[in-house]
Structure formats: structure tokens, C-alpha cells
Amino acid sequence: MNKRGVEEGYLHGSDVPSKTKSFEIIVDHIRLPKNSRFNALAIIDLEKDVYGCNKMAVNQGNLETLLDKFALSIDDGIEELDAKAAGKKLTVRVVLRNNPQINEMVRGLEIV
């Protein structure tokens, strides 16, 4: 964990080579964050490292995509999502997003 109590090893858009537009990940597990101060809704633990990282934070948009992809609703719970997603390949697209903390466009990750 880093000095803020947040796990390390998260995949960010800045970790992906600049010419890469999309790539695949394989889900090992989907779980809730270990630290309640961390603002991700869920964490995808990756089956193998991608660009040197072993997990990916899931924001609201990516959670909605995952629920749609596996025909689930938010009421089904993280355990049901984990059961359906474990071992599955997902395509992740690199997109430009506004980072409100620094008010700049940054590379973000979007599950498609």
C-alpha cells in the first residue's frame, strides 16, 4: 500500500504506450476496494500483468459496461459479477478524459 493506504499496481492510461488504442485484459477476479477511502466502485484483479500492472480500478462507466456485458444489475452484487467475469477476456480502449483534479485531458481506460 502507498502512503495514502491505497493498494499499488493499478493500471492507468498513462501506463499504456502512446500508440496503443486498445488492448485485452483477462479478469482473475472482480472485488470491492480494500480501502473505503479509495473512490473506485470495484477492482479488477488481472490474471496476468498488463503494462507492469496487476489490477484496474473500475469507475461508474466501466461498472455499467460490465453489468450490461454480463446481463446483471447493480442489485446482483459484486460476487455475481465476479462469478460471471472471472477468466473472461475484456477489451480496454484508451480514451481522452478530463481529470477534474488537474483540469487537464488525460488518457483514461474504458471497457468496451
Residue in 107, 69, 93, 52 with CA at minimum distance from that of residue 30: 69
CA atoms within 13 A on the CB side of 72: 19
Return the pLDDT at 35. Answer: 78
Query: Strand locations in 11-88, DSSP E?
Result: 22-31, 42-50, 53-58
Residues of the chain with pLDDT under 70: 1-7
Question: What pLDDT score does 101 carry?
Answer: 85
pLDDT value, residue 37: 72
As given in the structure block, the three cell numbers for residue 18 are 502512446
The pLDDT of residue 5:
46
Residue-level pLDDT at 28:
98
Give helix 60-69 / helix 78-85 axis angle, nearest 10°: 60
